[in-house]
Homo-oligomer: A and B are copies of this chain.
Amino acid sequence: MIGSQDASTASAAPASMNGAEALLRTLVAGGVTVCFANPGTSEMHIMDASQRVPAIRFVPCLSEGVVTGAADGYGRIAGNPGCTLLHLGPGLANGLANLHNARRGHAPIVNIVGEHPSTHRARVTPLASNIEAIARPFSDWVRTADRAASLVADAADAIAAARTPPGRIATLIVPADSAWADGIEPAPARSPPEPRPPSVTTVARAASMLRARVPTAMILAGNALHGRGLILAGRVREATGASLLTPFPVSRMERGAGRPVVDRIPYVLEDAVTTLRAFRQFILVGTPTPYAYFAYPDQDAVLVPQVSETLALAPADGDAAVALEALASALPTASELGSERTQARPSLPSGAINPLGLASVIAAVLPDQAIVVDEAMTSGRSIMAACAEAAPHDWLGNTGGSIGIGMPLAVGAAIACADRPVLCLSADGSGMYTLQALWTMARENLRITVVVFANRAYALLKHEHARIAGGDRASPILAMFDLKRPDLDWVSLARGMGVSATRVDRLDGFASALRAGLHGRAPNLIEVPL
């Protein structure tokens, strides 16, 4: 996936350039060609250099959570690092929550943060901060390029770090004096480390577990859920009868007609326990042991039954597809892809808005090769199941539990694949964290349809409160989780950022608006009051 062009000739570089331009040409040489940006003064030389390196596309975003979330969405779909440009410590800080999500989902990101020049860094000034300390809890790799001469080598290392399977967050801090220094040449791409397959013993053990006549689930994540990894997982299932599961947080899953169906472990703790209770053996492929998101006074978050055996075929930071390749080779009967369900689109329902009806409309209308971004929270839990037999599509979810990734992910995915329609399923509460993404959708004219399910509440928190309050659903504290007084008006919010929008009150209206939106060429938003 690494660009094969030599860095020095990649973009007809002049004989001498500054660090900023050499940095950008190094990115291009390393195959990094999209940068989501919310820059400031300390990044100005990089911005200035961008006009001399047209091979890298800069996408402006109006808040940093959009920047990092878009880089995540781009990385998930392109399989290539998304790049950011952030302004000093506070700009990085605003982008951290979606970096957290990206890291949990192993998206490859080259996260570039500007820094004051060395003379200025030691002083107490308004924007001074310890950027490395800020970045570290959310990064797999952090380096400050404090010598101009090594800036491009640092950048090449950052790209290789981001590309390390299954994808990492590499934060490169660029002091302004490294960017403005003259006489720097770009660096060629460096190869990331090769993924390591599991040991022969581990593969043999997994094969033996699969041959035993014991209920067994393979729990898949990472690249076991798309492309060759998913095909291999389907073959293993055909050969052994194992069930295919995935933890609730889904980074990228290929779904729909003709593809192996992988069942998602439910969000609600008791439902997840019930799902996993059916099994005595678990083979983990690219995921740690799954737990519930939260533990409660009356119930711990353990999901896997006590009397069971668990084997990690590929660790969470490993290459799941490579591990499945090794496993499939050890199962000689698994050489052919078995039959999978074919497309059976549900018929279009009509009538009043209801959760199952909305899910059926989406499954019926979804175009072939659509990308679905799911942050619909409680309103959207039935949609994924309904889409199992829809046209083939990719499904991107919230990987780290930090709410506010949906619309940014959609931006990144749409830029990675301009020819595929993107359907972004949002809740009103989740959408509000990073609604600034709508402006970038309009500015870049991205092919995104945002559906906002407006239940006027943080409904998840109401459920959680009822849980700890003995089922009390009339507590005055529930008003704290309302998004009422005033209602959010998503049609106005979208129009305020240049995105055309409509509100629907019946399923047929939803179906028409959704079909028009997904087949249009411009971003659009549909508010669905619940």
Contact = CB atoms under 8 A, between A and B. Distances in A.
Interface residues of A, number: 97
B480 A487 contact: no
B442 A486 contact: yes
A493 to B, nearest CB: 4
B125 A130 contact: no
A402 interface: yes
A135 to B, nearest CB: 10
A300 interface: yes
Interface string A123-156: 1111101100110111000000000000000000
Contacts of A439: 432, 483, 486, 488
Q: How many copies does the complex hold?
A: 2
A453 interface: no
A44 B287 CA distance: 28
Nearest to A135: B137
A223 interface: no
Given A464-B41, A487-B498, A48 B469 contact: yes
Interface string A420-457: 00000000010011011001001100000000000000
Given A44-B467, A90-B96, A443-B485, 20 more contacts: A39-B461, A42-B294, A62-B483, A65-B94, A90-B400, A93-B93, A93-B402, A104-B126, A123-B289, A125-B292, A126-B249, A127-B401, A129-B138, A133-B137, A176-B295, A177-B297, A180-B297, A442-B485, A489-B496, A493-B493
Interface of A: 37, 39-42, 44-45, 47-48, 50-51, 58, 60, 62-63, 65, 89-91, 93-94, 96-97, 100-101, 104, 116-117, 119-120, 123-127, 129-130, 133-134, 136-138, 176-177, 180, 248-249, 288-289, 291-295, 297, 300-301, 316, 399-402, 404, 429, 432-433, 435-436, 439, 442-443, 460-461, 464-465, 467-469, 475-477, 480-481, 483, 485-493, 495-498
